[in-house]
């Protein structure tokens, strides 16, 4: 049996560009893709913190070290420069793989610099 689990999460990334005329996808700084384990052309879910909107697209590689998060094509109608995003990638794992399963969670500041990463979501007291 396969179970679909969170593979990687980019938390509170700031949209740097919104390119309606582009063919589609979400361009992400190549160093961030490598660090998170998200592959170019991999399906991603995007959750817009500002609007509550959710949509599916795929990741493409932007220039490394630029901090770019560019929402392109039709998705540009769903996120504007300055919006905060949560970007998630999911994968299917078999029961043996789940024994050592840990997602990669990457957190950003306002300039899209990585502040820290983790393999678990911290539990907050009520």
Integer Cα distance of 61 and 80 in angstroms? 19
Q: Which two tokens stand for residue 86?
A: 């949560």
Close Cβ partners of 90 (under 8 Å, ≥ 6 residues apart): 4, 5, 6, 7, 43, 45
Q: Is 1 helix (H, G, I), strand (E, B) or coil?
A: coil
Is 118 catalytic? The answer is no
Catalytic site residue from 58, 107, 117, 118 = 58
Is 58 catalytic? The answer is yes
Catalytic residues: 25, 58
């Amino acid at each position: 049996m396969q179970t679909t689990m969170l593979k990687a999460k980019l938390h509170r990334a700031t949209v740097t560009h919104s390119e309606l005329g582009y063919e589609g996808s979400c361009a992400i700084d190549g160093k961030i893709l490598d660090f998170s384990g998200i592959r170019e052309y991999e399906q991603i879910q995007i959750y817009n913190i500002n609007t509550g909107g959710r949509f599916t697209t795929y990741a493409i590689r932007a220039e490394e070290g630029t901090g770019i998060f560019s929402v392109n094509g039709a998705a540009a109608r769903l996120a504007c420069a300055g919006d905060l995003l949560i970007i998630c990638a999911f994968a299917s794992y078999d029961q043996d793989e789940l024994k050592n399963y840990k997602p990669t969670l990457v957190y950003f500041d306002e300039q899209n610099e990585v502040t820290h990463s983790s393999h678990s979501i911290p539990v907050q007291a009520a």
